[in-house]
Amino acid sequence: MKFGRRAFLQFAAGAVGGTLLSPLPWKLVDDASIWSQNWSWRPSPERGPVTRKASVCTLCDGGCGIQVRLVNKNRAISVEGNPRHPVNEGGICPLGAAGAQFLYAPYRISQPMKQSKKRGDATGFKPISWDEAVGELQKKLSNLRKAETPHTVAAITGHAHNSMQDLWQQFFTAYGSQNLFTMPSHRDSLQGAGLLALGREAPFAFDLEHASFILSFGADLVEGWGSPGRMQTLFGKWNASEAEGAAVKLVQVASRCSMTAAKADRWIPVRPGSEAALALGMAHVMVKEKLYDASFMQDHVFGFEDWTDTRGKPRQGFKSFLMAAENSLEAASQQTGLEAPRIVDLAREFAAQNHAVAVWGGSGGNLPENTYHDLVFFALNVLKGNLKPGGMLSLAATVPLGELPQIRGDETARKGLAQKSADQIGDEKPSLTGRNLYAFLSLVAQAPPYPIEILMIHEANPAYGLAGKQTFEKAVERVGWMVSFSSYMDETALLADIILPNHAALERLDDVIGLPGSPLAYYAVAAPVLPPRLNTRHTGDVLLQLARSMGGSVGEALPWKSHEEFLQERVKGLAAAEGGAVFEESPSDWGKVKVGSTPHRNYTDGAGLWKKLSAGHCWYDAPRDPLQEIRSASGKIELAFQTLDSKGWAVEKDELYLPRFALQAPSGDPKEYPLLLLPYRMSSLSYGYHPNPPFMTKTVWDFVLKGKESFVELHPGTAQSMGLKEGDRIILKTPGGEATVRVHLFPGARPEAVYMPLGLGRKGYDAYIGGKGANVNSLLDVQGDPLSGQGIAWSARAQLKRLG
């Protein structure tokens, strides 16, 4: 039989019928639709149990408790605030919340690298082994000791509030060099102020937990001043609704309507840089109207009345200085641009409040301020009697950690230490405290007193973060060999000859000493949350390895087998010391810790304390009575700084001994540069060592950053007078440099100023970070502080030119 067309159709009809009664078509349609919903290239998150590991954040010095959410205990998916931690009570800042993005950043350095081409050539880095890298550094360091020139080794560390700083110090002293520097911070000038006023090189601390009236002189309290976690938590409490409790009044003095100003109960707009003039004007009113704490001034203050210096010369005291013409109400009014009655009202309001405190620190405590101004704000608090027990101001309490071993120091070390640090050479005035990084860099760049053979950089990014154009780059050109310990391929690591990458923050054991701005003694251990992901090594371990292999007195001074053992030894010392406890109460009890309270000790030995600390708890102790902490020559709070005499200053004018308004005008001809450029901070822009993670960049306004261009803020009136509109492209020129930016009209901008955000304009990293906007640091003007000599970079003169 022939299988004809007809038969085929009959067969096909049967087949169709059969198929329809089988699952085939329905299953195919169903599966095809599922298939169409599968996006194989879309990542599928690994599943597994979710756990939390508590630790302490080390992305800044704020000491916040965190807990990291882990999947399968090996992937960090997010960082949360630790609700049991008293500093942040479960809250977290955007940088901390995005912290895991640093762990998994594409720009992490995966292993030791050596530059094989010209410095700064990103393509020149060739991987080398840890043995080679550490061996090469050790050989170079040993050779310099053999040549009896250990002082030609320098280091810059970004850590000033943890034990790594002490480890560096120990290493440098044993090795024989004074050239150890930290990145500039407000602590630098505050320590100088503490030394002059109280004889103590310690920063001031503020009992904001118990204040009822906070007068902030340009302190960006909510943008991240002091410990950002503490300040945000406090701000929430200050603004508690009536049902929740009494409200605290915040008054912000600033030239720009910053977030703090906008959020304050009152914003007092003043001329840029004139905050200290207002404080002096208020002091003038308080003295004139006898609104100050007279008995406190009499009992505890030296130099309020006229005084006699050590050579027997009579000197003017602060009281009569305040009555001088230069400190008249009119002068303050002129300097600040405020009407005199407003200054009088503010002074009366401040004086009338029971728990009023003046705080300051315009750059969020991240840059040194003019030391005289630090002392003016301090003096205003003294007039208020704020250093009395239960007062609002004290010195940050010290943490009695275990002492480091005595350094025997061999002949080579003694020779090296006999050489002054490079920043101290050629300076007529002896420095008050610490080292001066700007002076060091500019001397190295211009006329180095001796060559710097090795420069080591640890957790710092001076190539990006220091003010002034190419301050760091120029110095590096004269440096023999540069070592970076950075975990990131940042601007500074790029200039290095060799990179020995550190672990990322969440992979690393570290500690936090002190809570910036808080009077309580505070210590925390940041336990690693995850094992290191890459072939990195803790810089502390590298330092210990170097010391061990160098042996001799250097090895003896750093006897610990590992950085972990070093920290455990320190904690053992803390456990052995008097006082203090691990905070295990409800976070709301933190505010009850006051001068004189004795925390209930809840550990018996170092191991027990270590265990609690590495589980995310913190150690604390009650604040000290500031009057008991005074170590000045007079035994009193000194408002006339006779310490200057003992430091070898030959002071002529009386006023130079006193807290005074000493604004340093930035360089440049005001006619050529009619505007004042001021940097500002946003909590959604990270401007320090850590670059802005993509999560945070996503939240940046499109009038701050658009594509690759950043904006400067200009008052609408100023813009109009210059014929500029929103979004116009301009060249912003300062004596230090220039940048192409766009204009954003901002009614909160002072008409004579132009404001630029910190944290933009990074180079390198990856496409999510590099090349976005302009770096304001490179445009700023660096000046030496009249007292401390520290570099201050608060502004620059600027001109704007329209493009196209």
Partner 1 sequence: MNDEKNNGSGKRIVGGVIFVAGFIIALIFGWVVFPNLLYSQRPQPMEFSHAAHQDSTCEDCHFFRDDGTYSGIPRIEKCKECHESPMGQTEDERILVEEFIQQDREIPWRIYSWQPDNVYFSHAPHKVKGVECVVCHRDVSKEEKLPPYKENRLTGYSINTMKMDVCEKCHAEQGANNNCGVCHK
Partner 2 sequence: MSEQGHKQGAVRFGMVIDLDKCTGCMACSVACQAENNISFREDESNKLRSISWMEVFYLDNDQDYANYQYTYLPRPCMHCDAPHHAPCTFVCPVNATTRDEENGIVGHIYPRCIGCRYCIVACPYHARDFNWWDPAWPEPMEAMLNPEVSPRMRGVVEKCTFCHHRLLKARAKAFLEEQDLYEVTYMPACGEACPTKAISFGNLNDAESQVAKLAKDPRAFRLLSKLNTEPKVYYLSKHEWVRKQGDKHFQNSNGNKRG
Give the footprint of partner 2 on residues 192-221 (CB under 8 A).
none
Strand partners, 515: none
| Beta strands at 521-526 and 510-513: parallel, antiparallel or unpaired | antiparallel
Q: Which residues, 478 to 537, sit near partner 2 by CB under 8 A? A: 533
Contact partners, residue 578, CB within 8 Å, separation at least 6: 400
Q: How far is the CB of 431 from partner 2 (least distance, A)?
A: 37
Closer by beta carbon to partner 2, 174 or else 749: 749
Q: Specify the stretch interacting with partner 1 by CB under 8 A; choose among 6-14, 683-691, 694-702, 739-747.
A: 6-14
15 binds, among partner 1, partner 2, none (CB under 5 to 8 A by kind): partner 1
Residue among 262, 352, 576, 803 that touches partner 2 (CB under 8 A): 262
Q: Measure the CA–CA gap between 780 and 492, rounded to whole angstroms.
A: 19
742 binds, among partner 2, partner 1, none (CB under 5 to 8 A by kind): none
Q: How far is the CB of 35 from partner 2 (least distance, A)?
A: 11
User: Considering the rule CB under 8 A, would residue 104 count as an interface residue with partner 2?
Assistant: yes
552 binds, among partner 1, partner 2, none (CB under 5 to 8 A by kind): none
Closer by beta carbon to partner 1, 31 or else 403: 31
- How far, CA to CA in Å, does 333 sit from each of 281, 359, 575, 578, 751? 8, 21, 53, 50, 18
Q: Measure the CA–CA gap between 12 and 18, rounded to whole angstroms.
A: 10
Residue 388, SS3 per DSSP: coil
User: Considering the rule CB under 8 A, would residue 38 count as an interface residue with partner 1?
Assistant: yes
Q: Measure the CA–CA gap between 609 and 617, rounded to whole angstroms.
A: 10
Residue among 119, 405, 766, 784 that touches partner 2 (CB under 8 A): 766
Closer by beta carbon to partner 2, 481 or else 768: 768
Q: Are 481 and 455 in contact (CB under 8 A)?
A: yes
Q: How far is the CB of 732 from partner 2 (least distance, A)?
A: 19
Please choose, from the candidates 360, 362, 327, 363, the residue with its C-alpha nearest in 3D space to the C-alpha of residue 343.
327
Residue among 2, 44, 310, 747 that touches partner 1 (CB under 8 A): 44
Q: Specify the stretch interacting with partner 2 by CB under 8 A; choose among 91-99, 480-488, 778-786, 794-802.
A: 91-99
Q: Measure the CA–CA gap between 53 and 67, rounded to whole angstroms.
A: 5
Closer by beta carbon to partner 2, 314 or else 707: 707
703 binds, among partner 2, partner 1, none (CB under 5 to 8 A by kind): partner 2
Residue among 257, 413, 454, 463 that touches partner 2 (CB under 8 A): 257
Q: How far is the CB of 774 from partner 2 (least distance, A)?
A: 15
Q: Which residue blocks in 384-507 are alpha helix, DSSP H?
A: 411-418, 437-446, 462-465, 471-477, 491-494
Q: Measure the CA–CA gap between 310 and 70, rounded to whole angstroms.
A: 64
Phi, psi of 354 (to 5 degrees): -70, -45
User: Considering the rule CB under 8 A, would residue 675 count as an interface residue with partner 2?
Assistant: no
* Local structure of residue 733 (DSSP, 8 states): E
State the amino acid at position 150 in one-letter form: P
| Beta strands at 393-395 and 204-206: parallel, antiparallel or unpaired | antiparallel
Closer by beta carbon to partner 2, 70 or else 193: 70
Q: Measure the CA–CA gap between 101 and 697, rounded to whole angstroms.
A: 12
Residue among 14, 767, 801, 802 that touches partner 2 (CB under 8 A): 767
- Cα 663 to chain centroid distance, Å, stands at 23
User: Considering the rule CB under 8 A, would residue 714 count as an interface residue with partner 2?
Assistant: no
**Element (H or E) spanning 606, and its range?**
helix 606-614
Please choose, from the candidates 515, 683, 599, 615, the residue with its C-alpha nearest in 3D space to the C-alpha of residue 87.
515
759: left (phi over 0), alpha (psi -120 to 50) or beta: left
Residue among 55, 88, 115, 471 that touches partner 2 (CB under 8 A): 88
652 binds, among partner 2, partner 1, none (CB under 5 to 8 A by kind): none
Q: Measure the CA–CA gap between 495 and 474, rounded to whole angstroms.
A: 11
**Element (H or E) spanning 549, and its range?**
helix 539-550
Closer by beta carbon to partner 1, 50 or else 577: 50
Contact partners, residue 181, CB within 8 Å, separation at least 6: 154, 155, 156, 157, 423, 435, 437, 440
- Cα 522 to chain centroid distance, Å, stands at 17
Q: Which residue has the tokens 């604390």?
A: 620
Q: Which residues, 20 to 79, sit near partner 2 by CB under 8 A? A: 37, 39, 41-48, 50, 69, 71, 75-79
Residue among 2, 6, 118, 290 that touches partner 1 (CB under 8 A): 6
Q: How far is the CB of 11 from partner 1 (least distance, A)?
A: 4
Residue among 124, 249, 768, 786 that touches partner 2 (CB under 8 A): 768
Closer by beta carbon to partner 2, 503 or else 624: 503
User: Considering the rule CB under 8 A, would residue 138 count as an interface residue with partner 2?
Assistant: no
Q: Are 258 and 400 in contact (CB under 8 A)?
A: no
Beta strands in 551-686 (DSSP E): 581-582, 618-621, 637-638, 675-680
- How far, CA to CA in Å, does 778 sit from each of 469, 677, 737? 4, 12, 7
Write the burial class of residue 238 (CB in 10 Å: 0-12 exposed, 13-18 middle, 19+ buried): buried
Closer by beta carbon to partner 1, 12 or else 447: 12
683 binds, among partner 2, partner 1, none (CB under 5 to 8 A by kind): partner 2
Phi, psi of 441 (to 5 degrees): -65, -40
Q: Which residues, 46 to 75, sit near partner 1 by CB under 8 A? A: 48-50, 72
6 binds, among partner 1, partner 2, none (CB under 5 to 8 A by kind): partner 1
User: Considering the rule CB under 8 A, would residue 557 count as an interface residue with partner 2?
Assistant: no
Residue among 7, 352, 418, 633 that touches partner 1 (CB under 8 A): 7
User: Considering the rule CB under 8 A, would residue 12 count as an interface residue with partner 1?
Assistant: yes
User: Considering the rule CB under 8 A, would residue 77 count as an interface residue with partner 1?
Assistant: no
* Local structure of residue 428 (DSSP, 8 states): S
Residue among 2, 5, 41, 45 that touches partner 1 (CB under 8 A): 45
Residue 589, SS3 per DSSP: helix
Closer by beta carbon to partner 1, 40 or else 406: 40
Strand partners, 395: 204
257 binds, among partner 1, partner 2, none (CB under 5 to 8 A by kind): partner 2
Per-residue DSSP letters for 41-78? Answer: TS--PPP--EEEEEEE--SSTT--EEEEEEETTTEEEE
243 binds, among partner 1, partner 2, none (CB under 5 to 8 A by kind): partner 2
Q: Which residue has the tokens 């969020």?
A: 364
State the amino acid at position 324 in one-letter form: A
User: Considering the rule CB under 8 A, would residue 706 count as an interface residue with partner 2?
Assistant: yes
In the shown chain, the binding pattern of residues 685 to 704 toward partner 2, with x for contact by CB under 8 A and - for none, equals ---------xxxxxxxxxx-
Closer by beta carbon to partner 2, 241 or else 354: 241
731 binds, among partner 2, partner 1, none (CB under 5 to 8 A by kind): none
Closer by beta carbon to partner 1, 33 or else 628: 33
98 binds, among partner 2, partner 1, none (CB under 5 to 8 A by kind): partner 2
Q: Which residues, 13 to 32, sit near partner 1 by CB under 8 A? A: 13-19, 21-24, 27-28, 30-32
- What are the residues binding partner 1 (CB under 8 A)? 1, 6-7, 10-19, 21-24, 27-28, 30-32, 34-35, 38, 44-45, 48-50, 72
